[in-house]
């Protein structure tokens, strides 16, 4: 295993993008089956978002205290260190291209935040995208105030930096992540006065078979619920934070009851004092590298887009596989299963080893299908209801980067005839800032669709990460076949 | 019950060091990002928006939202949630944009 390889990166059988559960499982599986593998990841350490953990200098003796299933990760990490996988840390992949001979070129910028300006190119015969997901956010009055942070963000900062956004932290939004976030914040010493969940849990109960065949998932939820009880955290279902109070930072939130469509009930909400709010409404697959290559997508039960994959995790583009949240959000265990499945499929394709391990592959497929079914139930149960747009007032910022208000988006829709997110974007600049619509994409699509149920556009962002003009210029010089890149401008 | 995140994981960090934020000292545990160091000191905002001049800090915590852009040692537009803090770093509030280094 090589860390932060500075030198010519060369050519591999398989390049894996993302070192979370799916990417790690795919990389070690393929390598153990005899392929040469490069594993590119933006973080300094493997693990992805789920297994994010403190840097070695923080000397965490019990990193597993903030995690579920740490042993599954330790196992993958051990297999990674025992392998000769080129683990390229601090590599932010911004584009992937197909070469004339059918191989892939993966372009990355390096450094902690991608500003080291050393462009790198890795070539590979096959590609596995394990790029994970980011958090879906829905705006509400006050959500740009300091102290309002993503639920996943609070979790990430806690896991890697051992810090909290405040002492009294309300956790709100929708989805099973909220329970995990609340229980880890409480375990780490925060007071969590409430978990505010916009959905009910009734929809799970309507699919008892799926629940019964996924006992580990049900057990996970119980573990979190028990932790919340122990820390005296109150869970409020069918409610939302509809306003944040404070001038320079969070001082309190208003929690309002919702109807089944997430429309706030009339009358006053309940005010809860706090100094931070951790909020998130589920996760969105991160698929722009794949969509820029023309991969087919599918609409998931919560109306986000995931990659359409075949039975062995291959996308609609031959030679390009995907695993984990990129194909739909379903958790670390599913990601691991899909990663292994993809690793085996790539090895079978490249080495022609048909038949070998067929029993194992069949078992993995069954497990994947079972967990995918659960993921679908989960996504449907927490899909944003159309009534959430009633949380907004006209002055609420929808696009955080460009400070575009709900009023201006509504104007573009009502007065200027915009019918989709793309037109709203052109008329208002919503989604044209630094984050390229990752934070406001869902909200803008819903507002444009008028009924609050817009489908997010299959956004083809020009670049998966921001790239300096100097890097783009240098790219011209890097296209000679087989040359790995190290000529910083 | 753990009182702090460091207690929870039994952290035994290397010796702390200092950086400054708008001139005032901030104590950092080695291995923390700039954003984590600032949160650790109770600082939640370190840039102002271009339009309304409103305060912002870390939001997504994973390099996606760009709300955490800070000026680090004179260089604007660094994502504080990704950049590791180094001894003696000078962090200043980023006013308005830091567009110059970004091509996208
Ligand atoms: S907090 Fe979102 S990019 Fe740093």
Question: B82: which chain A residues are within 8 Å (Cβ-Cβ)?
Answer: 42, 112-113
Residue A77 Cα to ligand 1 midpoint, Å, equals 26
- B96 CB near a chain A CB, below 8 Å? no
B58 Cβ under 8 Å from any chain A Cβ: yes
**pLDDT confidence band for A4 (50 / 70 / 90):** very low
Cβ B15 vs Cβ B30: under 8 Å: yes
pTM above 0.80, yes or no: yes
CA A124 – CA B29 distance, rounded (Å): 39
Burial B65-94 (b: 16+ CB within 10 A, else e): bbbbbbbbeeebbbbbbbbbbeeebebbeb
Q: B99 pLDDT exceeds 50?
A: no
Least confident piece of the model among A209-223, A278-292, A323-337, B56-70: A209-223
Contact B66, B83 (CB under 8 A): no
Whether residue B66 is predicted with pLDDT greater than 70 in this model: the reply is yes
pLDDT at site A73? 96
Which residue is listed with tokens 């887009």?
A305
- Mean pLDDT lowest among A223-232, A383-392, B28-37: A223-232
Cα B39 from Cα A19, distance rounded (Å): 26
Q: What is the pLDDT of residues B12-49, one digit of tens each?
A: 999 999 999 999 999 999 999 999 999 999 999 999 99
Residue B81 Cα: closest atom of ligand 1: 4
Q: Inter-chain contact A163–B40, Cβ cutoff 8 Å? A: yes
Q: What is the mean pLDDT of residues A216-236?
A: 80
pLDDT at residue B14, rounded to an integer: 94
Q: What contacts A415, CB < 8 A, 6 or more positions away?
A: none
Answer yes or no: are the C-beta atoms of B26 and B18 closer than 8 Å: yes
For residue B38, the SS3 value is helix
Query: For residues A251 and A246, what is the distance between their CA atoms, to the nearest angstrom?
Result: 5
Mean pLDDT of A386-414: 91
Residue A122 vs residue B2, higher pLDDT: A122
Record: contact A467-B103, CB cut-off 8 A: yes
Cβ contact A351:A34 at 8 Å: yes
Search chain A and give the residue with CA nearest B11: A60
User: How far does the centroid of ligand 1 lie from the alpha carbon of residue B74, in Å?
Assistant: 19
Per-residue pLDDT reduced to its tens digit, A32-52: 999 999 999 999 999 999 999
**pLDDT value for A441:** 86
Query: Cβ of A163 and B59 within 8 Å?
Result: no
- Please answer yes or no on whether B50 and A472 come within 8 Å at the CB atom: no
Mean pLDDT of chain B: 91
pLDDT tens digit sequence for A283-299: 999 999 999 999 999 99
- The share of chain A scoring above pLDDT 70, in percent, equals 89
CA distance B101 to B104: 9
Reported as half-sphere exposure (CB side, CA atoms, 13 A), residue A407 has a value of 6
Q: Which residues of B15-49 are buried (b: 16+ CB within 10 A; e: fewer)?
A: eebebebeeeebebbbbbbbbbbbbbbebbbbbeb
SS3 of residue A16 by DSSP: strand
Tell which residue, A230, A224, A142, A129, has the closest CA to residue A175: A224
Give the per-residue pLDDT at A475. 53
Q: How far is CA A32 from the centre of its chain?
A: 27
pLDDT given at position A474: 55
Who's near A9: CB < 8 A, 6+ residues apart?
A: A38, A86, A88, A120, A121, A122, A484, A485
A451 or A363, greater pLDDT: A363
Report helix, strand or coil for A183: helix
Average pLDDT, chain A: 88
Judge whether A49 is closer than 8 Å to chain B, CB to CB: yes
Interchain contact B22–A (C-beta under 8 A): no
pLDDT of residue A258: 96
- Residue A3, pLDDT above cutoff 50: no
How many helices (H) and strands (E) in chain B?
A: 2, 7
Per the CB < 8 A criterion, the answer to whether A323 and A338 are in contact is yes
Nearest to A128 by CA among A40, A197, A217: A40
Reported as a pLDDT band with limits 50, 70 and 90, residue A8 is very low
Please compute the mean of the pLDDT values over residues A314-322 and round it to a whole number: 97
DSSP-assigned beta bridge partners for residue A106: A96, A122
Beta bridge partners of B87: none
Tokens of A250: 């969070």
| Residue A229, pLDDT score | 81
pLDDT tens for A232-247 read 888 999 999 999 999 9
Distance CA A108, CA A464 (A): 10
Q: Give contacts of B33 with chain A, Cβ < 8 Å.
A: 112, 160-161
Closest ligand 1 atom, residue B64 Cα? 3
Atom of ligand 1 nearest to the CA of B63: 3
* Residue A87, CB-side half-sphere exposure with 13 Å CA sphere: 23
> Beta-carbon neighbour count of residue A363 at 10 Å?
13
Q: Is the pLDDT of residue A185 over 90?
A: yes
Measured between beta carbons, the chain B residues lying within 8 angstroms of A462 are: 104
Task: Report B:29-48 residues touching A (Cβ under 8 A).
Answer: 29-33, 35-37, 39-40, 44-45
Name the residue with the closest Cα to ligand 1, atom 3.
Answer: B63
Span A58-110, pLDDT tens digits: 999 999 999 988 999 999 999 999 999 999 999 999 999 999 999 999 999 99
Is residue A6 over pLDDT 50? no
Residue A4's SS3 state is: coil
What single string gives the DSSP state of each residue in chain B? --SSHHHHTTB-PSPPEEEEETTEEEEE-TT-BHHHHHHHTT----EE-TTT--EE--SSSSSSS-TTEEEETTEEEEETTTSBP-TT-EEE-B-S--GGG---
């Amino acid at each position: 295993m090589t860390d932060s390889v500075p030198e010519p990166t060369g050519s591999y059988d398989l390049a894996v993008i993302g070192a979370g559960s799916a990417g790690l499982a795919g990389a070690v599986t393929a390598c153990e089956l005899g392929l040469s593998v490069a594993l590119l990841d933006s973080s300094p350490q493997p693990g992805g978002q789920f297994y994010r953990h403190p840097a070695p200098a923080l000397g965490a003796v019990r990193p597993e205290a903030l995690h579920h299933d740490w042993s599954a990760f330790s196992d993958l990490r051990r297999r990674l260190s025992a392998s000769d996988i080129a683990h390229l840390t601090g590599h932010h992949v911004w584009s992937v291209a197909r070469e004339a001979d059918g191989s892939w070129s993966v372009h990355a910028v390096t450094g902690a935040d991608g500003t080291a300006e050393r462009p790198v190119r890795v070539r590979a015969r096959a590609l596995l995208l394990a790029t994970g997901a980011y958090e879906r956010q829905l705006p509400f009055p006050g959500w740009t105030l300091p102290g309002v942070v993503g639920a996943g963000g609070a979790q990430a900062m806690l896991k890697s930096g051992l810090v909290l956004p405040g002492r009294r932290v309300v956790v709100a939004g929708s989805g099973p992540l909220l329970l995990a976030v609340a229980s880890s914040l409480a375990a780490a010493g925060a007071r969590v006065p409430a978990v505010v969940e916009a959905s009910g849990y009734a929809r799970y109960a309507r699919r008892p078979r799926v629940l019964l065949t996924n006992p580990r998932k049900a057990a996970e939820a119980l573990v979190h619920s028990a932790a919340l009880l122990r820390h005296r955290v109150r869970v409020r279902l069918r409610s939302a934070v509809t306003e944040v109070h404070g001038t320079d930072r969070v001082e309190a939130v208003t929690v309002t009851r919702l109807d089944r469509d997430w429309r706030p009930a009339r009358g006053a909400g309940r005010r809860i004092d706090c100094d931070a709010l951790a909020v998130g409404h589920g996760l969105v697959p991160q698929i722009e590298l794949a969509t820029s290559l023309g991969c087919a997508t599918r609409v998931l039960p919560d109306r986000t887009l995931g990659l359409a994959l075949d039975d062995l995790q291959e996308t609609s583009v031959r030679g390009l596989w995907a695993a984990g949240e990129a194909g739909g959000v379903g958790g670390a265990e599913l990601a691991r299963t899909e990663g292994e499945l993809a690793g085996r499929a790539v090895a079978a394709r490249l080495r022609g080893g048909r038949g070998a391990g067929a029993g194992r592959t069949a078992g993995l497929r069954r497990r994947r299908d079972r967990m995918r079914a659960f993921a679908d139930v989960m996504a449907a149960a927490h899909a944003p209801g159309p009534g959430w747009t009633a949380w907004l007032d006209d002055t609420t910022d929808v696009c955080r980067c460009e400070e575009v208000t709900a009023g201006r988006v509504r104007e573009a829709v009502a007065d200027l005839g915009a019918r989709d997110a793309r037109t709203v974007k052109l008329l208002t600049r919503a989604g044209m800032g630094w984050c390229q619509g990752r934070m406001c994409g869902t909200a803008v699509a819903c507002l444009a669709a008028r009924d609050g149920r817009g489908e997010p556009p299959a956004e083809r962002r020009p670049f998966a990460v921001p790239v300096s003009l100097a890097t783009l210029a240098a790219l011209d010089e890097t296209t000679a076949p087989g040359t790995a890149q190290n000529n910083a401008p | 019950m753990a009182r702090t995140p460091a207690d929870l994981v039994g952290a035994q960090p290397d010796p702390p060091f200092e950086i400054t934020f708008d001139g005032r000292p901030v104590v950092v545990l080695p291995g923390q990002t700039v954003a984590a160091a600032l949160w650790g000191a109770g600082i939640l905002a370190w840039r102002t928006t271009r339009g309304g001049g409103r305060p912002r800090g870390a939001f997504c915590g994973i390099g996606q939202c760009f709300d955490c852009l800070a000026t680090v040692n004179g260089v604007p537009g660094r994502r504080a949630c990704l950049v590791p803090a180094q001894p003696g770093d000078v962090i200043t509030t980023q006013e308005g944009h830091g567009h110059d280094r970004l091509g996208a």
